[in-house]
Amino acid sequence: MTGADVAIVLQDAFWQAGEALMYRHTTPWELDEALSDWGYTMGPCEAQDLIGLEKVLARDPNRPVPILPRMVAEGRIGKSGGVGYYRYPGGGGAVIDPLIEDMFREEAWFAGDDRSEISDAQIVRAMNAALVQALDRLSLLDTKALSVLARAVHFPKGKTLRELTLRA
């Protein structure tokens, strides 16, 4: 498996964990902010908006929750299209879009799933746990993992594997 393949596996695990959290517990901006506050250089929603949501969906169309397929079907393709998880008025920086929060709530309601709020610490633990599981599947729980994580999911420089696996 090449370094690029490893990065894709890690990104997909991380991003799908984020989708599940947003579906049941949080919003894109709360997710990104919790991770940024912990030290990630960029949250998963902003990163996906920059890559292009249609490209993210094309990599793995079988999503655990129905949000991303609906977003792309509605033309929410990310920054290049002016709207994704965030709005990008005039091609500028990310702006919170309350319509996306409504979409998550609506999809959960249609599926009969309850939503509940969780803390930033719980968000970080859940996202880091998804990375630990993916790293374990790849047999990469060593110091090399940190550089791969930094490239793949903007994992904070200066954080250790112990911090990643703490309560994960």
Q: 65-105 pLDDT, tens per residue?
A: 999 999 999 999 999 999 999 999 988 899 999 999 999 99
Q: How many other C-beta atoms are found inside a 10 Å radius of the C-beta of residue 24?
A: 16
Number of domains in the chain: 1
User: What average pLDDT does the structure give for the chain?
Assistant: 93
Q: What is the CATH number of the domain that holds 22?
A: 1.10.1040.50
What band does 167 get if pLDDT is binned at 50, 70 and 90?
low
Residues 47-56 have pLDDT tens digits of: 999 999 999 9
CB 153 within 8 A of CB 18: no
User: 83 by DSSP, 3-state: which?
Assistant: strand
pLDDT, position 168 = 47
- Domain boundaries, position 83: 3-165
Closest Cα partner for 18 from 104, 123, 132? 123
Q: How many other C-beta atoms are found inside a 10 Å radius of the C-beta of residue 66?
A: 15
